[in-house]
Amino acid sequence: GAIAERCGELGAQKGKLSVVNQLPLRKGMGSSTTLVIAVTRALLGQDCRAQALAVEDAVNPGNSGLDFAVIWEGKPVLFRKNTEPQPMNLPANLLENAMLIDTGTPNEATPELIAWVRDREQELLPHLETIGECTERLATGENLQNVLHKHHRAQVALGVVPEAVQELIAEIERAGGAGKVLGAGARTGGGGIVLALGNKEELISIATSMEYSIPS
């Protein structure tokens, strides 16, 4: 594929490479960047950050750099544009009451959504700032459920949470939980993966009643 071809241009030897993947594809989980890093490390060695980043920029043009920073480090990082990622210490049990819900594949690709939001950047600036503030709040130890509430509403204001997914998260909130779409979200189609927080039995009941699946 394109990743292996780019690695070949950077000096990787030819051969057969098999990839085993358990991440949902095209649903906001960083699967394409994960594949870039896994393949470049397999073909070019562990110390290939610059080469892997070049492949990422070629394969996923317009990427923010966030997925790459987190996946390369293999741990939470505080990411700000044009600065080096900083380690982010989060509680080990932060996601103990969380689960993932698969709401289907978005109709739009991530670059398309990013371009659509950027075209309206001035209009959407308050909501973009709210999302940035949510990161800072999480870094300073604010309750995750409160952060998810704020983040979700900002994403709705951006227009990247389909109505059906808004209904799912509204049901989760009525049950005392919280949720938000991961990744860039969607305008139409599925919303990708939702991170949901709450009583797991109730979350499963809500998701299955709305015909959404729980990734294994």
pLDDT tens-digit map of 128-145? 999 999 999 999 999 999
Measured CA distances, 112 to 41, 52, 63, 91, 196 (Å): 28, 23, 11, 34, 25
pTM for the complete prediction?
0.90
Query: Domains of the chain by range and CATH?
Result: 2-87 (no CATH), 98-209 (3.30.70.890)
Note the pLDDT tens digit of each residue in 45-57: 999 999 999 999 9
Is 192 in contact with 186 (CB distance < 8 Å)? yes
Place 103 in a pLDDT band, splitting at 50, 70 and 90: very high
- 3-class DSSP state of 13: coil
What pLDDT shows up at residue 1? Answer: 78
Maximum mean pLDDT: which of 3-12, 68-77, 154-163: 154-163
What pLDDT shows up at residue 126? Answer: 97
Region 167-194 average pLDDT:
97
* 54 or 63: which leads in pLDDT: 54
Q: How far apart are CA 84 and CA 81, in angstroms?
A: 8
How are the residues of the chain apportioned to helix, strand and coil, as percentages rounded to the nearest 5?
50, 10, 40
Region 25-30 average pLDDT:
88
Res. 81: pLDDT tops 80: no
Q: State the average pLDDT for the chain.
A: 93
Region 180-201 average pLDDT:
96
**Which two three-digit tokens encode residue 53?**
């980043």
